[in-house]
C-alpha cells in the first residue's frame, strides 16, 4: 500500500509506548473492548497449530509471540503503518492487528472516500482469510464484521443491502458473540447494525426483512457500556445510536453521550483519536 496513504498520528504518543512488560500489564485495559488474548508464547503456539498451513513460515512460538507483541505496541502508540505491515506479513495469524490498524487509521486519518473504500475492502479480504484459517477466533469474525461494516457505510444503503453486506455483517457479529459473549466492540457494532437498518429502511421493513429491532440495539449498547464504561467509542456509538433511532428528539442525550466520550482518558492512540473526534463533534 502506498506510503503516501498513511497520514501520521499527530497526538503525543509518549504515554502509549508500552515497552517491555508494560504491554502485558496494561493488556486487560488496552483490550477491554475487543477481548484479544495476550500473544505470549503459549498463545502463539496455539495459533500456529490452529492455522496449520496458513501459519507464518519459519517462526517458532517465541518468535511469533515477539512479532505479535511488537505489532500491537506499534498499534497502541499510533504507528499504524508499522502495525499493519507487521500484521499483514504474518498472514491470517497477524490479521487481527493488521485489520484493526488499517481500519482505525482509515476511519480517522483518511479523508478520500475512494481511498477509504479501497482500504476497507482490503481489510475485509484479510479478515476473510483469517475466518477461513482461524474460525475459532472471535476476532477473525469481528474484524470481518468491522471491515465490512465500515465498507458498507461508504456505499449507499440500497447498494449495501442489495449486495447482501448487512447479512454478512450480522453473521460475523453473531459468530463473534457466540465465541466471546463479552466482546464489547461486537455488542456496540450489533447495536449500530440494528440502528442503521431501522434508521434507513424503517422499523417495519427493518424488522421483517433483516430482524432489526430497536430493543435489540438498546440491549447491545447497554451491554457494551457496562463492559467498557471508560471506552470513548462505546459512548460515541451510543450517541450515534440515539440519533439513528430517535433523531432530534434525543439530541440532548446524544450530546451527553459524546460529552462522556470527550472526557474519557485515552489509554492508546486509537482512544486518543476517538476522544478528539468526540470533542470535534461538540464544538
- For residue 137, what pLDDT is reported? 98
**Cell numbers at residue 123, please?**
481489510
- Tell me which residues of the chain have a pLDDT lower than 50: 3
**Cell numbers at residue 273, please?**
483519536
> Rounded CA gap, 83 and 75, in Å?
5
Centre a 10 Å sphere on the Cβ of residue 31 and count the other Cβ atoms it contains: 19
- For residue 3, what pLDDT is reported? 46
Same fold, 17-157 and 182-283: yes
- For residue 1, what pLDDT is reported? 57
CATH class, range 182-283: mainly alpha
- For residue 192, what pLDDT is reported? 94
Which secondary structure element, helix H or strand E, spans residue 185, and what is its range?
helix 184-201
Q: At what angle do helices 138-153 and 184-201 cross, to 10 degrees?
A: 30
- For residue 207, what pLDDT is reported? 75
> Rounded CA gap, 185 and 183, in Å?
6
Q: Where are the domains of the chain?
A: 17-157, 182-283
> Rounded CA gap, 101 and 34, in Å?
13
DSSP 9: P
Right CATH for 17-157 from 3.30.930, 3.40.50, 1.10.3470, 1.25.40:
1.25.40
> Rounded CA gap, 90 and 181, in Å?
27
> Rounded CA gap, 71 and 86, in Å?
6
pTM above 0.85, yes or no: yes
Amino acid at each position: 500500500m502506498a506510503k503516501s496513504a498513511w497520514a501520521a498520528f499527530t497526538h503525543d504518543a509518549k504515554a502509549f509506548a508500552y515497552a517491555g512488560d508494560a504491554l502485558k500489564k496494561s493488556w486487560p485495559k488496552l483490550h477491554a473492548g475487543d477481548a484479544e488474548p495476550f500473544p505470549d508464547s503459549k498463545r502463539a503456539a496455539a495459533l500456529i497449530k490452529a492455522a496449520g498451513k496458513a501459519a507464518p513460515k519459519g517462526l517458532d512460538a517465541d518468535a511469533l509471540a515477539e512479532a505479535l507483541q511488537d505489532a500491537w505496541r506499534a498499534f497502541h502508540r499510533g504507528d499504524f503503518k508499522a502495525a499493519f505491515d507487521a500484521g499483514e506479513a504474518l498472514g491470517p495469524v497477524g490479521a487481527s492487528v493488521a485489520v484493526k490498524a488499517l481500519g482505525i487509521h482509515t476511519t480517522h486519518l483518511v479523508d478520500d472516500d475512494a481511498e477509504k473504500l479501497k482500504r476497507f475492502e482490503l481489510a475485509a479480504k484479510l479478515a476473510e482469510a483469517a475466518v477461513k484459517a482461524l474460525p475459532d477466533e472471535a476476532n477473525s469474525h469481528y474484524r470481518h464484521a468491522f471491515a465490512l461494516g465500515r465498507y458498507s457505510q461508504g456505499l449507499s444503503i440500497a447498494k449495501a443491502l442489495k449486495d447482501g453486506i448487512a447479512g454478512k455483517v450480522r453473521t460475523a457479529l453473531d459468530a463473534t458473540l457466540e465465541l466471546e459473549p463479552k466482546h464489547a466492540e461486537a455488542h456496540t457494532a450489533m447495536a449500530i447494525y440494528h440502528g442503521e437498518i431501522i434508521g434507513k429502511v424503517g422499523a417495519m421493513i427493518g424488522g421483517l426483512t433483516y430482524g432489526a429491532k430497536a430493543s435489540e440495539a438498546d440491549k447491545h449498547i447497554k451491554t457494551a457500556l457496562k463492559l467498557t464504561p471508560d471506552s470513548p467509542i462505546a459512548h460515541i456509538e451510543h450517541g450515534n445510536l440515539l440519533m439513528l433511532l430517535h433523531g432530534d428528539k434525543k439530541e440532548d442525550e446524544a450530546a451527553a453521550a459524546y460529552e462522556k466520550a470527550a472526557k474519557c482518558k485515552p489509554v492508546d492512540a486509537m482512544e486518543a483519536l476517538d476522544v478528539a473526534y468526540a470533542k470535534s463533534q461538540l464544538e
